Amino acid sequence: MSEKRRDNRGRLLRVGESQRADGRYEFKFTDSGGIRRTIYSWRLVGTDKAPPNKKETAPLREMEDKILRDLQDSINSFGIAHTTVDEYWRSYIDGRFELKATTRNQYEYQYSKFVSPCIGNKPLVKVRYDDIRRMYVGMLERGVKAGTVRVIQGTIHQMFDAAVKNRYIRLNPTDGVVKDLKRSCSWEYGRRSALTVQEQSALVDFVSSSAQFSRWSVLFTVLLGTGMRIGECLALRWDDIDFQKNVINVQHTLTYCRHKGETKRTPHIDTPKTRSSVRSIPMLAEVRLALLREKEYQMAHGATMTKIDKCSNFIFQTQTRHAMLPSYAHGVIKRVVVAYNASHKDNPLPEISAHHLRHTFCTRFCENESNIKVIQEIMGHGSVKTTMDIYAEATMEKKAEVFYNLEGKMKIG
């Protein structure tokens, strides 16, 4: 029977352990991929001290226990031991074939701006809960909105979850971070507020009566009268308008982004955001009239010249008769609000975007309609929860208004 190995202190060594001539401990094992590997440490257990001028690494037994536990559970952490978060992100996002180009562009922008500078160079297998928490706290301290942090959390949580499913890591380091921050930090989601009835009326009157902006009144009328997303609105072609049935058929969305394989952003016609976004929206009388006027204008002055992905005959055009892109539309909305506020300093409009106009339509709709399913279908919401949140907010204000009208109308005390 062979004598069991001991270290220079007389301590028994386990199978696979040994001590080199220079005093350093080593452990040899075969990883889950069948590759022989060796780890080293100047310390066998936690109470040992490293020799003078030697690096204080984790004790061999501590590393060894983790390795054996990973091997037992088929965790292949050594397979990507030197793979950084940036490198894993690239392979992960490239494999998300189902993502729309706009969504992919948003994920990549947010990752490169917020995540990569903090943990991008760190080995994936060494990212811990505290690393994620520090990253989010730093973002909030720099003024990044809680909603943005929540979106980023959703994105990288999926990435780390994929690493867990592939058995590269045991736990997802992003689990529970946002929940913890909500309890311990100032955490407020920025809520997109709808325009009030008075603000909406003032905006519409200003645009329609302005020599500078009246050309864009059709854009405001359609956005405020249909609740379409800006990409859906700008993708409309005259073939999508059924004046006989009095409906607008939403079938596409116009994006300006970099598709896979492209080196720069270009306009594209894509399918809408979700399956529920493909829908037919009945035309209100003012929407129908605005579109008929625009059709007459283009018959007299020329149709939109732009072709995007073999699609042409777009309804919304710039002053040079090119298809209107989202950035152009956002610029128009911003210029209108700036001009309005310059002449109405005592009662200015808030800063708004195309999405605020969509939210405004949905709020007015909720104030006058109780059928949640109808509202969801017209808005093209993928989840009824989105519709319910807006409905609850809109009807609460309406309830308060009706309730306060009871003041003095009944004896209660």
Per-residue pLDDT tens over the stretch 293-315: 999 999 999 999 999 999 999 99
| Confidence (pLDDT) at 192 | 58
If you average pLDDT over residues 337-364, what whole number do you get? 94
Report pLDDT digits (tens) over 225-252: 999 999 999 999 999 999 999 999 999 9
Q: Does 202 have pLDDT greater than 90? A: yes
Query: CA 13 to CA 28: how far, in whole Å?
Result: 12
| Confidence (pLDDT) at 412 | 66
Q: Does 2 have pLDDT greater than 60? A: no
Higher-scoring residue by pLDDT: 343, 192: 343
Contact by Cβ (8 Å): 120, 85: yes
Q: Is the pTM of this model over 0.85?
A: no
Query: CA 398 to CA 153: how far, in whole Å?
Result: 35
Higher-scoring residue by pLDDT: 392, 8: 8
Report pLDDT digits (tens) over 71-95: 877 777 777 778 999 999 999 999 9
Contacts 24+ apart (CB under 8 A), 82-86: 82/123, 83/123, 83/124, 83/125, 84/120, 84/121, 84/122, 84/123, 84/124, 85/115, 85/116, 85/119, 85/120, 85/121, 85/122, 85/123, 85/124, 85/127, 86/116, 86/120, 86/121
| Confidence (pLDDT) at 1 | 44
Give the Å distances, CA to CA, from 174 to 99, 162, 181, 204, 349.
22, 12, 12, 45, 39
Confidence label for 186 from pLDDT (cuts 50, 70 and 90) = low
The 10 Å Cβ neighbour count of residue 5 is 13
Percent of the chain whose pLDDT exceeds 90: 65
Name the range with the highest mean pLDDT among 96-105, 119-128, 187-196, 384-393.
Answer: 119-128
3-state secondary structure of 209: helix
Report pLDDT digits (tens) over 262-285: 778 899 999 887 888 999 999 999
Cβ density class 340-362: b for 16+ within 10 Å, e for less: beeeeeeeebeebebebbbbbbb
If you average pLDDT over residues 117-140, what whole number do you get? 95
Alpha helices in 238-306 (DSSP H): 285-301
Query: CA 131 to CA 119: how far, in whole Å?
Result: 8
Q: Does 219 have pLDDT greater than 90? A: yes
In the chain, the N- to C-terminal Cα span, in Å, equals: 98
Q: Which domains does the chain have, with CATH numbers?
A: 17-74 (3.30.160.60), 85-184 (1.10.150.130), 197-401 (1.10.443.10)
| Confidence (pLDDT) at 35 | 82
User: At CA 226, angle to CA 228 and CA 309, rounded to 5?
Assistant: 40
> Residue 343: enclosing H or E segment and its boundaries?
helix 326-343
Q: Rounded to the nearest 10 degrees, what angle do helices 354-368 and 326-343 cross at?
A: 80
| Confidence (pLDDT) at 120 | 96
Report pLDDT digits (tens) over 38-69: 999 999 999 999 999 888 889 999 989 888 88
Name the range with the highest mean pLDDT among 97-106, 222-231, 255-264.
Answer: 222-231
